[in-house]
Amino acid sequence: MESFEYTAHHPRVVFGAGTLSRLPAEIARAGGSRPLLLSRRGPVAGVDAVFDGVAMHTPVEVTERALEVVRERGADCLVALGGGSSTGLGKALVARTGLPLIAVPTTYAGSEMTPILGETDGGVKTTRRDPALLPATVIYDVELTRTLPAGLSVTSGLNAMAHAVEALYSPQANPAIDSFALDAIGRLARALPRIADRPDDLDARADALTGAWLAGICLGTVGMGLHHKLCHVLGGSFGLPHSETHAVVLPHVMAYNAPTAMARIAAALGVSDAPAGVFDLAARLGAPTSLAELGLPETALRTAAVAATETPYPNPRAVTADGVERLLSDAWHGHRPATAAGDLSRLTAQVVASFAGAPDQRLAALLGDLVTRLHGFVADNDLTEAEWTAAIGFLTETGQLCSPTRQEFVLLSDTLGISSAVDLLSNSRSPDTTPSAVLGPFYVEGPPVKEHGADLAEGLPGTPLRADVRVTDVDGRPVAGATVDVWQSNQDGYYDVQLPDLEGPVLRARLRTDGDGRLWFRSILPSEYPIPDDGPVGRMLRATGRHPYRAPHLHFMISAPGHRRLVTQLFVAGGPYLDSDAVFGVKDDLIVDFPSDEDGTRRVAFTFRLGPDSAGD
Ligand code: NAD
């Protein structure tokens, strides 16, 4: 069970296209009447006073200059319009004045959703966190993001994705933030290629900005790990550009931290290997993929690695200077990150491709999907060699136990519910026909042909039973001459094939319906019985606390020309194990009353409705 703490401090959000028009109302809502706009752009409707000296990394000297303008203008409200740099200046002024801030972000950096302020003073970057720094309102106007150049959109979007990725393995991770993070990752991964293709695509912009908002909440709510630390060092100490650095470093940190959270991220991205998926996305969309490209000298790698590991902080994998240096070297060279998951997806693809030449395409498709799922099973469960060896041993024993009278593989299929699953999907599609049920392991080809009224028990002890059977089509018309195979257990629950001392086939027969679609026979009441549990299937049942019993039933296999063959079972109403049949074979419509005559004979009367030959095929 997960335990967590979660405090939400998310600012009010006004989202849409053209929402900048709501700025005057939001200023009034925040109690402002003399707003100051912090933006590299000119004035906007409702705000004439502008400070346009916004600079990257919030240098304190810029903040001091802006502070003078705040005082000169008697500003009572701040409006930060632009990327993370404008928002940063806004927060720096909030820290010094306590004025309300309205943020109008035009990139995907996410700063507007965080109580974090990073400032540089004399080249040294310091960070503080205070909920009071959060904007009163954030206006997301999708229209304003249309002018963000494609390249910057992609790197800024990857900057946002980095917040979501690190949130998923944060020590403060919780279900709310996880769902924001995964949603953000999916939206950004879908939107960025469309934006790169058509930067003015408003729908794609809306998706990316929504992703940025959610990713910003992640960044503002839970602690980040190695990725943010590294980008902080590379930006702060080496002057590397903010979003581009995030875009280059992210896949390498993901590979470093894999497999933690990577399966969920891969699913959100729609790829098999998350780190390689992010790298490929960035490369495909023309984002920088190497630190060398960003101007970092190779000699700086060690220094950066040491700086990023000086003080400990939570990260899924321990951060060591050597490990981080290797990571940075990969990022510097622009290598595509290699992970076990990446190698596995290549291996899976190779095996699937190996079936491509099969003349039977259905066989190729089935084997390809089986292999893909089995590889996924191995990966998702971190299957150990010992576990796989045990599985091989189990299957070997299952095969070795099979003989003409013992079908351990059918038992395995039955007890895992696979026989019922195949039956359910391939045989029971028509509501007008009698439901089918599994064949089970005790059917024997060519049962003895018997006349109506024959006693299938041939004198074996048990409660006498009379069965009256009718076979019709879906419209209730009798099916004459239908072949009806019947087989069942004795009163101790054994089939004849399980009793080597028994003479010949017994409790099994082949009968034919008369012109009215009817037949009848005598027998004994079937009883519950354990499926053979002296083999590997029995061991599996015991290992999982399951019993081996089947609810009492009669088996039927009915065929007639022009009709679909029906394999089914009739269960004795009120019998034991109807709710926990070991092979999951019981269906409500097949539970039938077997009332008692005065002489103690039990009776069952049932009409089987056969579908036409083509139905459900
Ligand atoms: P930015 O604000 O510097 O903007 C990058 C460039 O894009 C600028 O030249 C800007 O004028 C231009 N631009 C922005 N929006 C545009 C638009 N819609 N159309 C055309 N041009 C546009 O960069 P950023 O990546 O948004 O933010 C980076 C800064 O934000 C860094 O200083 C970083 O440390 C900070 N940041 C802080 C936090 C936090 O929580 N404190 C979070 C993320 C980023």
For residue 259, whether the previous peptide bond is cis, meaning omega lies within 30 degrees of 0, is yes
371 with 352: CB under 8 angstroms? yes
Ligand 1 centroid vs 213 CA: distance in angstroms? 14
Is the shortest distance between the CB of 88 and ligand 1 below 6 Å? yes
Q: What percent of the chain has pLDDT over 70?
A: 99
Closest CA to 337 of 413, 393, 262, 417: 262
Give CA–CA dist 69/71, Å, rounded. 5
Indicate the SS3 state at residue 29: helix
pLDDT (tens digit per residue) in 78-107: 999 999 999 999 999 999 999 999 999 999
Is the shortest distance between the CB of 344 and ligand 1 below 6 Å? no
Q: Where are the beta strands (DSSP E) in 401-458?
A: none
pLDDT, the chain, mean: 94
Give CA–CA dist 294/443, Å, rounded. 72
Ligand 1 centroid vs 532 CA: distance in angstroms? 70
Structure tokens at 151: 């390249």
Residues 6+ apart with CB under 8 A from 271: 277, 280
Is the shortest distance between the CB of 62 and ligand 1 below 6 Å? no
- Return the residue whose CA atom lies nearest to atom 38 of ligand 1: 111
Ligand 1 centroid vs 332 CA: distance in angstroms? 23
Query: Which pLDDT score is estimated for 617?
Result: 42
Ligand 1 centroid vs 108 CA: distance in angstroms? 8
Is the shortest distance between the CB of 82 and ligand 1 below 6 Å? yes
Ligand 1 centroid vs 336 CA: distance in angstroms? 27
Give CA–CA dist 381/572, Å, rounded. 41
Residues 6+ apart with CB under 8 A from 534: none
Query: For 493-530, b where at least 16 C-beta lie within 10 A, e where not — what string?
Result: bbbbbbeeebeebbbbbebbbeeebbbebbbbbbbbbb
Query: Which pLDDT score is estimated for 596?
Result: 95
Ligand 1 centroid vs 49 CA: distance in angstroms? 21
Sign of the C-alpha dihedral, residues 18, 20, 25, 30?
positive
pTM for this one? 0.71
Ligand 1 centroid vs 465 CA: distance in angstroms? 84
Is the shortest distance between the CB of 85 and ligand 1 below 6 Å? yes
Structure tokens at 347: 């291996």
Angstrom distances, CA of residue 75 to CA of 36, 49, 80, 227? 6, 9, 13, 38
159 with 110: CB under 8 angstroms? yes
Give CA–CA dist 514/520, Å, rounded. 10
pLDDT (tens digit per residue) in 267-317: 999 998 899 999 999 999 999 999 999 999 999 999 999 999 999 999 999
- Return the residue whose CA atom lies nearest to atom 42 of ligand 1: 111
Closest CA to 115 of 91, 98, 97: 91
Ligand 1 centroid vs 93 CA: distance in angstroms? 17
Q: Where are the alpha helices (DSSP H) in 171-225?
A: 175-197, 202-221
Query: Which pLDDT score is estimated for 160?
Result: 98
Give CA–CA dist 457/154, Å, rounded. 78
399 with 585: CB under 8 angstroms? no
Is the shortest distance between the CB of 107 and ligand 1 below 6 Å? yes
Residues 6+ apart with CB under 8 A from 160: 108, 109, 110, 184, 188, 208, 211, 212, 215, 216
442 with 405: CB under 8 angstroms? no
Ligand 1 centroid vs 82 CA: distance in angstroms? 7
Give CA–CA dist 4/20, Å, rounded. 37
Count of alpha carbons within 13 Å of 330, Cβ hemisphere only? 21
119 with 63: CB under 8 angstroms? yes
Query: Which pLDDT score is estimated for 615?
Result: 46
- Return the residue whose CA atom lies nearest to atom 28 of ligand 1: 84
Is the shortest distance between the CB of 433 and ligand 1 below 6 Å? no
- Return the residue whose CA atom lies nearest to atom 36 of ligand 1: 84
Query: Which pLDDT score is estimated for 63?
Result: 98
Is the shortest distance between the CB of 147 and ligand 1 below 6 Å? yes
Is the shortest distance between the CB of 106 and ligand 1 below 6 Å? yes
Give CA–CA dist 228/246, Å, rounded. 8
Query: Which pLDDT score is estimated for 315?
Result: 97
Is the shortest distance between the CB of 114 and ligand 1 below 6 Å? yes
Ligand 1 centroid vs 32 CA: distance in angstroms? 25
Give CA–CA dist 186/170, Å, rounded. 19
487 with 442: CB under 8 angstroms? yes
Query: Which pLDDT score is estimated for 440?
Result: 84
Calculate the CA dihedral of residues 470, 475, 479, 483 and round it to 10 degrees.
-70
For the chain, residues with pLDDT lower than 70 are 427-429, 615-617
Query: For 200-225, b where at least 16 C-beta lie within 10 A, e where not — what string?
Result: ebeebbbbbbbbbbbbbbbbbbbbbb
pLDDT (tens digit per residue) in 395-411: 999 999 999 878 999 99
Ligand 1 centroid vs 541 CA: distance in angstroms? 60
Is the shortest distance between the CB of 155 and ligand 1 below 6 Å? no
| For ligand 1, mutation pick of 40, 106, 161 (most atoms within 8 Å of CB) | 106
Count of alpha carbons within 13 Å of 613, Cβ hemisphere only? 4
Indicate the SS3 state at residue 183: helix
Is the shortest distance between the CB of 351 and ligand 1 below 6 Å? no
Is residue 14 within a helix (H) or strand (E), and if so which, with residue range? strand 12-16
Spacing of C-alpha 480 from chain mean position: 52
Ligand 1 centroid vs 110 CA: distance in angstroms? 9
Ligand 1 centroid vs 107 CA: distance in angstroms? 6
Ligand 1 nearest-atom number relative to CA 109: 43
Is residue 558 within a helix (H) or strand (E), and if so which, with residue range? strand 553-559
Is the shortest distance between the CB of 489 and ligand 1 below 6 Å? no
Query: Which pLDDT score is estimated for 428?
Result: 58
Sort strands 602-610 and 50-51 into parallel, antiparallel or unpaired.
Answer: unpaired
Is the shortest distance between the CB of 109 and ligand 1 below 6 Å? yes
Query: Which pLDDT score is estimated for 429?
Result: 63
Ligand 1 nearest-atom number relative to CA 155: 25
